[in-house]
Amino acid sequence: MRSWALQDPEAHALQERVDRSRIDYLRTLLRELGGPEVDVESMARLLYLVLVGAQQVVPPVPTSDLRDSYALALRLAPHDPHDAYEWEDTP
C-alpha cells in the first residue's frame, strides 16, 4: 500500500488519512497514560514509526520483540531534556 501511495494520488490520500488516524489514536492513549503533554506528539510519532518500520523488516519482527521495543521506548521517553520519564502503567 505504501509503495502504491507514492505513485497514486488517491492511494496517497487514503494512506495519509490512515496514518493520521493511527497517530491521533496513539496521542489519545499516551495522554491517558499520563505522559507529559510536551512529549505526546513526538512519542506518538515514534511509536508509529516503530510499527511501520517493523512491518518492513524481513524476516518479520516477532510480536514479543516488538512489544519489548515499545516498552523500552516508553521507559526512555524524556520528561525533560535531562531526565528519563517513567510513563504510568509501564513495566
pLDDT over 90 (residue 16)? yes
Residue spans of the domains in the chain: they are 2-84
- pLDDT attached to residue 71: 87
The single-letter DSSP state of residue 61 is P
Q: What is the pLDDT of residues 17-46, one digit of tens each?
A: 999 999 999 999 888 888 788 889 998 999
Confidence (pTM): 0.71
Q: What is the pLDDT of residues 54-91, one digit of tens each?
A: 888 889 889 999 999 888 887 876 655 444 445 455 44
Q: Which residues contact 36 (CB under 8 A, 6 or more apart)?
A: 79, 85
- pLDDT attached to residue 79: 55
What are the start-end ranges of the H helices in the chain?
Answer: 2-5, 9-33, 37-56, 63-76
C-alpha cell at 14: 487514503
What region, left, alpha or beta, does residue 9 occupy, with left being phi > 0 and alpha being psi -120 to 50 degrees?
alpha
Spatial separation of the C-alpha atoms in residues 35 and 45, rounded to whole Å? 14
Mean pLDDT of 42-54: 90
Q: Which residue from 83, 88, 90 is spatially nearest to 67, judged by alpha carbons?
A: 90
Give the residue with greater pLDDT, 78 vs 12.
12
